[in-house]
Amino acid sequence: MSRMNYTYKPQYWRFQAEELRAKADEMMVPHCRQTMLMIAEQYDELARSLEHELRALLKASDDRDTNVTQLSRQ
């Protein structure tokens, strides 16, 4: 059984986004602050996308298990 790479975990990207927002708050140059906030938003979007993909994979796995169970009963 292989372990999932941490970069595939939505919570990893949410944490990265929060860290980046904290650093952006310390930025004195508005353009740099805005860039960091935009990257943080992209990290949040990545987390949402991963959650969507993981849900789809789990549903597909559940559907496959259900089909196998039904076939084994026939």
40-66 pLDDT tens trace: 999 999 999 999 998 888 888 877 766
3-40 pLDDT tens trace: 667 778 999 999 999 999 999 999 999 999 999 999 99
Domain for residue 27, yes or no? yes
The answer, yes or no, to whether residue 74 has pLDDT greater than 80, is no
Return d(Cα 45, Cα 63) in angstroms, integer.
Answer: 27
Domain for residue 58, yes or no? yes
Domain for residue 29, yes or no? yes
Structural domain total, the chain: 1
Return d(Cα 19, Cα 3) in angstroms, integer.
Answer: 25
Question: Exposed (0-12), middle (13-18) or buried (19+): which is 12, by Cβ within 10 Å?
Answer: middle
Q: What is the extent of the structural domain holding 31?
A: 9-73
Domain for residue 2, yes or no? no
pLDDT of the residue at 65: 64
Residue 41, classed as helix, strand or coil, is: helix
Contact 48, 14 (CB under 8 A): no
How does residue 68 score in pLDDT terms, banded at 50, 70 and 90? very low
Domain for residue 3, yes or no? no
pLDDT of the residue at 67: 57
Cα angle for residues 34, 36, 39 (degrees, 5° grid): 110
